Amino acid sequence: GAVVSQHPSRVICKSGTSVKIECRSLDFQATTMFWYRQFPKQSLMLMATSNEGSKATYEQGVEKDKFLINHASLTLSTLTVTSAHPEDSSFYICSARDQKGETEAFFGQGTRLTVV
Amino acid sequence: GEDVEQSLFLSVREGDSSVINCTYTDSSSTYLYWYKQEPGAGLQLLTYIFSNMDMKQDQRLTVLLNKKDKHLSLRIADTQTGDSAIYFCAESIWGGADGLTFGKGTHLIIQP
C-alpha cells in the first residue's frame, strides 16, 4: 500500500515554543490531507482538512491561529502548533488520500507531542 | 452530530474468533472502515465496506453491516497474538473527502 511518513515521531518542547509536524505522501500525490488528534483513551478527532494550494478547513472548536496548517505541495502538509501549552500534549496523526480519489486513506505513524 | 460507539476492551483466547462491534448514528454514512493501531504506530486500514453491502470477507476478516440497525462488526478468525491492537471503527459520508469519524477504539487482548 501507499506510504505516508510523519515526522517527528516524538517531540518534547517547552511551553510557549512552536512545534512543526510534517506529513509526506511518499509514493502518491495527495490533494487532500487530514490532521487528527488523539487524547489518551479517546478516539481520533478530526482537526482540519488540508487542501493543496488553498487554506485548510478547520473543524469547529479548533483554533486556526494555534494550529497552522500548510499544504504547499501534493506530497507535503505541515501542522505547526504555535505557542504550545501542556494541554496541547497529545498524539497527532495525519492521513492522506490519493488524488485519484480512492476510498482508502493512508495514515502516518503519528507524532507524540509532550509540552513541558 | 455523528457518533460512533465501540466497547473499549475485548479479551479472547488465542485461536478463537474475535468479534468487535460498532454502532453509528449517521444514516448518511456510505463508507465504513476498520483500522488497526498497534502500540506506538499509526493506523493501518484493515478493510472497508460500502453501505450497499451487508458482508465483506478478506482472508481471516469478515465484516458484517446491518444498515437498518446501524451496526458494524469485524470478525477475526483464528485470533493470533499479532492481532493484539486497538481496532477503530470509522465512518464517512463522502468516501473520506470529508475526513473520517472514528469510534474510541476497541483494545483486543489475546489470552494464551
pLDDT the model gives residue B95: 64
Q: Which residues of chain B have pLDDT under 70?
A: 1-2, 95-98
Largest distance between two CA atoms of chain A: 41
pLDDT at site A9: 92
Which pLDDT belongs to residue A37? 93
d(CA A2, CA A36): 19
CA distance B43 to chain A (A): 6
Task: Check residue A99 and give its pLDDT.
Answer: 73
Read off the pLDDT band of A102 (50, 70, 90): low
* Mean pLDDT across chain B: 90
Q: Which residue has the cell 478547520?
A: A58
DSSP per-residue string spanning A87-108: GG-EEEEEEEE-TT--S-EEE-
**Interface touch B98/A49, C-beta < 8 Å:** yes
Residue A18 C-beta-side C-alpha neighbours within 13 Å: 11
Matching residue, cell 473543524: A59
Q: Residue B58: how many CB atoms within 10 A of its CB?
A: 9
Q: Is B44 on the interface with A (CB under 8 A)?
A: yes
List the single residue in A49, A101, A107 with the smallest CB-CB distance to B42: A107
pLDDT of residue A100: 72
Query: Are residues A108 and B102, on separate chains, in Cβ contact within 8 Å?
Result: no
Q: What average pLDDT does chain A have?
A: 89
* Amino acid B6: pLDDT: 94
For A22-75, the pLDDT digits (tens) are 999 998 888 889 999 987 767 788 999 988 888 899 999 999 999 999 988 899
Nearest CA in chain A to B50: A103
Contact B42 A43 (CB under 8 A): no
**Burial label, B81 (beta-carbon count in 10 A; 0-12, 13-18, 19+):** exposed
Bridge-based pairing of strands B9-13 and B106-111 is parallel
Q: Is A70 on the interface with B (CB under 8 A)?
A: no
SS (H, E, C) A24-67: EECCCCCCEEEEEEECCCCCEEEEEEEECCCCCEECCCCCCCCE
Distance from C-alpha of B97 to C-alpha of A49, rounded to nearest angstrom: 9
The pLDDT of residue A1: 62
Q: Smallest Cβ distance to B43: which of A45, A93, A97?
A: A93
Residue of A43, A98, A102 for testing the chain B interface, max B β-carbons within 10 Å: A43
Q: How far off is chain A from B32, nearest CA to CA, in Å?
A: 10
What pairs with residue B21 in β-bridges? Answer: B73
B109 close contact with A: CB closer than 8 A: no
The DSSP bridge pattern shows strands B4-6 and B55-58 to be unpaired
Percent of chain A with pLDDT over 70: 96
Chain B residues inside the 8 Å CB shell of A52: none
In angstroms, the Cα distances linking A76 to A33, B49, B83 are 9, 29, 31
B42/A4 CB distance under 8 A: yes
Whether B84 and B76 have beta carbons less than 8 Å apart is answered as: no
